[in-house]
Chain A
Amino acid sequence: MLAEIGLISTLFAFIAALYAIVASVYGERFAHSHALVTSGRNAVYLNFVLMTVATLSLQIALMTQQYQISYVWSVSSPSMPDFFRFTALWGSQAGSILFWSFLMSAFTAGATFLNWKSQRRLMPYAIAYMMAVVAFFIGVTLFIENPFDRWWILPTGDVVASAFIPAGAVAPSAAQLAQTANGLNPLLRHFGMAIHPPMLYLGFVGFVIPFAFAMAALASGDLSTNWIKVSRRWALIAWVFLSLGLILGGRWAYDVLGWGGYWGWDPVENAAFLPWLIGTAYLHSVMIQEKRGMLKTWNMFLVIGTFSAVIFATFATRSGLVDSVHSFARSEIGFPMFAFWFILTLVSVWLIVWRSSRGELKDDHQLKSLFSREALFVLNNFVFIALFVAIFWGSFGAPIISELFMNTSITLGADYFLQVTPPLFILLFILMGIAPVSAWGAASLARMGRAVLIPLALTAASIGLFVVGGVTEIGALFGYGIVLFAGWVAVVETVRGIRARQHVHRENPLTSVIALYTRNPRRYGGYFIHLGITIIGLGVIGSTVFQQETQQTLAVGESLSLGIYEMRYDGFLANQIAEDGRVMDIAELTLFRDGVEVAHLRPRRDFFPEATDMNSMTIAGAHSTVENDFYVILVNWEQISASSATFKVYINPLINLVWWGGLILIIGTMLAGYPRETMPVRVREKLHAVPQGA
């Protein structure tokens, strides 16, 4: 029953999406029919309702264990806890594409609802673009990766998955299906992994909205900053979810993959990082268009680039592109995806060229000073794009080109990325430090020099602390210095803003702080985000440059020491059975710091008796402080007596700053996206919007 409901809803959602595209564009452009355009909008809402029903049916099928549905069978099993039953919705390809379509549909409905009245010129085209993306993904769900397929036993005895009942087929018995159900890959049963995909998807989907509105601006001819204003908050939401998704993915790798690191420059990770890079460039670059009316064409290309990166990332990871171009070309979704991306990009580029040739994308200003804020922003864009190109080349470009044209396969490993990206990241941090103290239009070096004096002094003082703390490596100190400078600039500029307000308005400090963030959320929220990035940067440098490791076999009662820590092996708990059926072998350790007991650690190995392929999982034990993580992996043990066991131990300095920086980044984004509630601005925006909408 659920499968039928899901399938039918998805089918009608697909039709609704197609109708919305046709009604909007035809109604607006050719028929000039208000009623038709309005019916297009209603189709958007209908699409959302139907996709909600479809997604809910799959979710309910998962929760109620309808194993005849082959998707449910392949990602869940009777012993799985409800939480993972819930997250299994995006546990494999078919479900995750349905979920992706649902999120996109929800975002489209939201963007339509919020802007229908105020952006009448943009909306029909924006709807067409957004619905085109929705329709494509629903189409993939319907025709290629159907999550509502069910198992059937043919008269010949073969078992097949099909959406419709094949002639003469019968359903397999529920008990047998339940018994053979796969269950979610144990590696994915981690909190970070459970919520990492939806975060990424929200980020991906969110970035389609600015794309749709930018293209709507081109199509409708409303080339004011309306499309930027409308999509700014969506871009911010997308950005923060994408950032969060990346950080959670790192956290998962750190906790589960057991190599003491969080980023391995794997193509799959890089694919998700690419939209982040280009999206971040876009978030900076649109500010120039809003403030100075510059870079109009460039922003259009950035927004197309973000969209392309999103589509690429969605598929690259799961279509086999990572392994080989050939398998990608042969994978079922490879060609449709490429065709979809190609057509949408072609239409978009054509729109840009058309508007541009009519002189409608002319910039209001030109770059004048090398140290003006807009010049530094352009440089910032350049570096982001350079990083994008370098990472794309390393992960996909070189392997694909060598495979297509050189009849061999060349891959670039982590050493490529470790060589190419650090100089670019350094340049970014330098820009992050000096751009906030530069001025729009033209800036004098003298003024900038004065503005950076205090941050420079604070940076020097912090470096001094690092030196006192025992860091002597010049390279690392240089890295810390660059990163800290960017952070101190953010702090000093914020303090300066608060003090200026206090001076002028004679308020109490708290009022000033609140006023600062509500009156100028983007600027000061942005600084807050910069601070988060600084903290992440410190964590990355510390944990990469100063990681210590050792491994040793210990008998019960013996200890090993690493740095300031000493770890004692106390004993072993074998065959502990957990709620979800996993069997745990646990080593019990006591951790001492400078001779004082600080923690009991329990690194373990979990065994999943029911899993068919991947059936064991190493779970590290960690003791976290601000200063570092003491991270221990149970490598092996004496089978029966467990009288001795082998451990691999890491000290990861400053690693927690990576996660905490992520938290600050979220707060900063919330501040930056906080609606600015001041009358004059509202009035000004309204006055601005009326003549264009008329």
Chain B
Amino acid sequence: MTELSWGKTADSAAAQKSRSGERLKFIIGGALLLGAVVFLIVSGTMSGARYFITVNDLLTSPEEYIGQSVRISGAVDGTTIVYDSTNLIIDFTIADIPEDTTDLALTLHEAVNDPTAARISVHIENQVKPDLLQHEAQAILTGVLQPDGTFVATELLLKCPSRYEESVPDQVEETGV
């Protein structure tokens, strides 16, 4: 691979030397660039990384996470949504959902209706209420747990699982046969 074919006449010692000098330049330049990129990614990771935990994790060992920005995911309890549209403040409660689920829609439904599921109240400021913030939606929140137990979120992502999953036509089921 490294053999040269560009100059049949360039096989003199001098050319060889200048060639290896050139190569050294490329190697040093390349190493510097690589180092810069690695540094960029590592430092970005250090400052941007957040633990993605469950509501349960957060409530079991709050002292570990208080004051630290984390991401949590939970099922939105639609009955608790309070929206102050004048000041753009949203408050609601999310219920714990397990990390691994096969049927997200079902898991969300069960979590919201399970009185024993761990719950946490969420407070968001300066946020227009998203259309997707609905009963039994999955909320993924980035924010900080406060000493009083509320979770103040700065970022809110929502998912309605039924979007890509097909459900059985239940009215058909009721009236069928």
Residue positions of A touching B, CB distance < 8 A: 70-71, 73-74, 92-93, 151, 153, 155, 157-161, 170, 172, 176-177, 179-182, 185, 187, 258-259, 266, 297, 318, 324, 326-327, 330, 356, 361-370, 375, 379, 382, 386, 389-390, 393-394, 398-399, 408-417, 419-420, 423-424, 551, 553, 612-618, 633, 635-636, 646, 648
Residues of B within 8 A of A636 (CB): 83, 85, 129
Total residues of chain B contacting the partner, CB 8 A: 59
Residue of A nearest to B99 (CB): A324
8 A Cβ contacts from B140-163 to A: 142, 155, 157, 160, 162-163
- Chain A residues lying within 8 Å of B41, measured Cβ to Cβ, are 389-390, 393, 420
Given contacts A394-B44, A411-B71, contact A362 B99 (CB under 8 A): no
Q: Which residue from chain A places its CB closest to the CB of B18 in the assembled complex?
A: A368
| Known contacts A172-B169, A258-B128, A614-B132, A326 near B44 by CB under 8 Å | no
- In the assembled complex, the CB of B136 is this many whole angstroms from the nearest CB of chain A, namely 8
> Would B37 and A390 count as touching, CB distance under 8 A?
yes
CB <8 Å contact, B4 and A412: no
CA distance in complex: A414, B155 (Å): 10
Given contacts A390-B44, A420-B41, 6 further A-B contacts (CB under 8 A): A182-B167, A326-B99, A408-B53, A411-B50, A415-B47, A551-B126
Cα–Cα distance between A626 and B155 once the two chains are bound (Å): 31
Please measure, in the bound complex, the distance between the C-alpha atom of A330 and the C-alpha atom of B99, giving whole angstroms. 13
B53 proximity list for chain A (CB < 8 A): 408-409
In the bound complex, what is the Cα–Cα distance between A266 and B36 (angstroms)?
Answer: 25
Contact B52 A551 (CB under 8 A): no
Q: Is the interface of A mostly helix, strand, loop or mixed?
A: mixed
In angstroms, how far is the closest chain B Cβ from the Cβ of A149?
9
Is B14 on the interface with A (CB-CB < 8 A)? no
- Pairwise interchain contact A185-B177, C-beta atoms closer than 8 A: no
B47: A residues at CB distance < 8 A: 415-416, 419
With A413-B50, A415-B48, A416-B47 in contact, is A633–B164 under 8 Å at CB?
Answer: no
Q: Given the complex of chains A and B, what is the CA–CA distance between A179 and B168 in angstroms?
A: 13
Q: Name the distance in Å between B9's Cβ and chain A's nearest Cβ.
A: 15
Contact B101 A327 (CB under 8 A): yes
Q: Contact at A613–B162, with CB atoms within 8 Å?
A: yes
Give residues in B with beta carbon < 8 Å to A: 1, 3-6, 19, 22, 25-26, 29-30, 33, 37, 40-41, 43-45, 47-53, 71, 83, 85-86, 88, 99-102, 126, 128-132, 134, 142, 155, 157, 160, 162-164, 166-173, 175-177
Q: Which 4 A-B pairs have the closest CB atoms?
A: A416-B48, A636-B85, A409-B52, A420-B44
Once the chains bind, are A551 and B160 in contact (CB under 8 Å)? Answer: no
**Known A-B contacts A158-B173, A370-B29, A614-B131; A411 and B4 likewise in contact (beta carbons under 8 Å):** no
Give every chain B residue within 8 A of A318 (Cβ-Cβ). Answer: 164
Query: How far is it, in angstroms, between the C-alpha of A364 and the C-alpha of B25 when the chains are bound?
Result: 21
Nearest CB in chain A to that of B126: its residue: A551
Supposing A324-B99, A364-B6 touch, asked if A413 and B172 sit within 8 A by C-beta, the answer is no
Contacting residues, chain A, for B177 (C-beta < 8 A): 153, 155, 157, 170
Check if A386 sits within 8 Å of B128, measured CB to CB.
no
Give the Cβ gap from B160 to chain A, nearest Cβ, in Å.
Answer: 5
- Would you call B85 and A635 a contact (CB within 8 A)? yes
